[in-house]
Structure 1
């Protein structure tokens, strides 16, 4: 495949991904994020395995970058899932902050 074909597929996949995710109702985001986190965990393991078998410095650098980005994506997914679950829970885990400028006595 040529570079232009790969770039075109990437751009189309990005547009389709944005459209699909934007149409999901907010009550389904948490289960979808949990499933996505499982997939990202597999991607992280794959990036580590590919990096471990790399032979040239360029492949090692790309594998290290892939591992870093997969880790950031996985951790970010867990943070977003935690915040969404906090939204749906009845009680708060953290005490609410006082509004600035309020004179509570």
Structure 2
């Protein structure tokens, strides 16, 4: 059985890190919309009836859910994956450097 060599494409890993960082920058748009551009003024649905209060409360709850449970979690996952990809790339670069010194 022949021995096979495996390699890691450090440029590809570096590109992944760059692209993930760009995705994080691009997440600013959805994050801003979820936080600031879905504002519902208090009197926008009318005044003095029970359904208005429930609708206003439901809107605020959904806005918070989208921001905290969706956008923030996606952003955190992308950030974590980017950091782990960078650590992996750096570890392979260090190993490659150490091997070339021997």
Alignment of 1:1-105 (within 5 A): 27=20, 28-43=22-37, 46-47=39-40, 49-50=41-42, 55=47, 56-75=49-68, 76-89=70-83, 90-91=86-87
Unaligned runs of 5+ in 2: 1-18, 89-102
* Conserved? CA contact 2:45–2:52, under 8 Å: no
Distance 1:66 1:83 in 2: 26
Alpha-carbon distance in 2 for matches of 1:37, 1:72 = 12
TM-score (norm 2): 0.51
**Greater RCO structure (CA 8 Å; 6+ sep):** 2
Name segments (4+ residues, structure 1) moved above 3 Å: 26-29, 51-54
User: 1:53–1:42: structure 2 CA closer, same or farther, 3 Å change rule?
Assistant: same
Structural RMSD (CA): 2.7
Number of equivalenced pairs: 65
Note the C-alpha offset of 1:57. Answer: 1.1
**How far has the Cα of 1:82 moved from its partner?**
0.9
Q: Which runs of 5+ in 1 are unaligned?
A: 1-25, 93-105
Q: Provide the C-alpha distance between the structure 2 equivalents of 1:62 and 1:91, rounded to a whole number of angstroms.
A: 46
SS of the residue corresponding to residue 91 of structure 1 reads helix
